[in-house]
Amino acid sequence: MSASGFVVSLLPQMLFSKTKPELPNIMLIGDSVSLGYTNYVKEALKGKVNFFRPLNSKGGYDNCAGTTKGVQLIDKWLALSDKWDVIHFNFGLHDLKHVDPITGKNSTKEEDPQQADLKTYKKNLKLIVKKLKATNAKLIFATTTSYPDKPGGPLRRADQPEKYNAVALKIMKKNDIEINHLNTLTM
């Protein structure tokens, strides 16, 4: 194991040594949009909660991306603590982006499929929610933000967040999960 791999493997233990058992444990799981507000949330809650966010292999905050990655890593993320009080999560922008079916890399081509079509998104999100609910934490789902048509980077169509949010909101309502309406805020 490399030196950096060794340090990264110790990060969860280092994080736990700094937690205060009397404070609630909260975790933020989300895509790159949530990376933009993670430090603000962490600072606003400093001294009031034990704040967690999954980390990447370099020790920085992980872009939890779409439901495909979520299904693969949700158990690992939840294992960061044996007790969760609040989990704020979102998935969507990575699910609706187009990817090359051969390489799996981001695509600007309309004919390439979305990373997770609506049917796959629904299936994946239901599985993630089931695992999150098993923690007995208060769950808060952030809706997928609006997105412009054909920006630089992977193709994401502006009409897609509304469709993905409609699927997600049905799942959240059925599971009595609170909603953070980030889409409304970005509109």
Could you give phi then psi for residue 39, rounded to 5 degrees?
-65, -35
Average pLDDT on 32-54 reads: 95
Sole residue written with tokens 């079509």: 117
Residues 6+ apart with CB under 8 A from 173: none
- Identify the pLDDT of residue 1: 44
Pair 48, 42: CB distance under 8 Å: no
Structure tokens at 71: 């299904």
pLDDT band at 65 (very low <50, low <70, confident <90, very high): very high
CATH superfamily entry for domain 3-186: SGNH hydrolase (3.40.50.1110)
* Per-domain boundaries in the chain: 3-186
What is the per-residue pLDDT for 150? 64
pTM: 0.89
By CB atoms closer than 10 A (0-12, 13-18, 19+), residue 129 is buried
AA letter at 19: T
